[in-house]
A = this chain, B = another copy of it.
Amino acid sequence: MTSVIKGVCAVVGCGPGMGGSVAEKFAKEGFSIAAFNRTAESFAPTEAKLKAMGAKYSFYPMDTTDKVAVQTQFAKAAADLGVINVLVYNAGGGGFGKSIMEIDPDEFVQSFQLSCTGALLCSQAVLPGMLASEGWGSHKVKKKGCILFSSATSAFRGSAKSAQFACGKHGLRALSQSIAKEYSQQGVHACHVRLDAILDTPGYQARMPEMYAANKLACTDDIAETYFAMYEQSPMGWSNEIDIRPFLEGWSC
């Protein structure tokens, strides 16, 4: 584990899945990690790994849909660890599987808030610091920040019984594009990552043992390599939308 801290990576939704894998990868590369979960419990598995690596990290309990909480906790994180260079927004709403007639409008909006409003609030919390920062890279143009949104195929199409989840993820994609188009010229790189798969997390391994045995779950550690590759892209050629799926995933659109 290198002792050189290269920067600060904020991970919102840093549980034992995609968020945890990203946190470990960036820590391995010398980043300090600011982790934001609703509860410390969900951060515990990642914390154990970061501790074992000797990584620098800090945890902030936060409801990502609460503007004041987001502003407060990100300000704390920047004070503790320094300007946040990378934001990985990894929280998302639920509701997959509900028929149109079953959807409760309050839960519908909560799902949107988790998938999309939270992503807006966290972006608002990090953008000023990124824009004011020195940036990095060997080009005369510096990269000032990198915002990665963990999204899904439901950002690209609604399906029978996916409306609640899909409306939030569609919104997230629109937000990602809007941020990219407004801030690219100032050196901030936004990228919407379509995770077109069920992820190999402890939860899904337990719920879908046959899928896991058949190599059909996507490996979050491997995907974290691609997140890091996005961070490494230069302003002279970066990606704003990528898809990621495992080799056995059916890909229809």
A225 to B249, CA, bound (A): 26
A206 at the interface (CB under 8 A from B): no
A49 at the interface (CB under 8 A from B): no
Q: How many copies does the complex hold?
A: 4
Given A215-B141, A223-B237, A157:B175 Cβ within 8 A:
no
Q: CB distance B243 to A236 under 8 Å?
A: no
A219 contact set on B, CB distance < 8 A: 139, 234, 236-237
A252 to B116, CA, bound (A): 21
A226 contact set on B, CB distance < 8 A: 229, 233, 237, 239
A170 to B246, CA, bound (A): 25
A231-249 at interface with B (beta carbon < 8 Å) = 232-249
Q: CB distance A168 to B166 under 8 Å?
A: no
Q: CB distance A178 to B166 under 8 Å?
A: yes
The interface-forming segment of A24-32, A52-60, A103-111 is: A103-111
Pick the contact of A174: B124, B163, B189, B234 (CB < 8 A). Answer: B163
Q: CB distance A178 to B197 under 8 Å?
A: no
Q: Give the distance to chain B from A109, nearest Cβ to Cβ, in Å.
A: 6
A3 at the interface (CB under 8 A from B): no
The residue in A159, A241, A248 that gathers the most chain B C-beta atoms within 10 A of its C-beta is: A159
A200 contact set on B, CB distance < 8 A: 236
A47 to B180, CA, bound (A): 37
A38 at the interface (CB under 8 A from B): no
Given A156-B253, A253-B252, A124:B108 Cβ within 8 A:
no
A-to-B contact residues, CB < 8 Å: 67, 99-101, 103, 105, 108-109, 112-113, 116-117, 120-121, 123-124, 127-128, 139-141, 154, 156-163, 166-185, 187, 189, 197, 200, 215, 218-220, 222-223, 225-226, 229, 232-249, 251-253
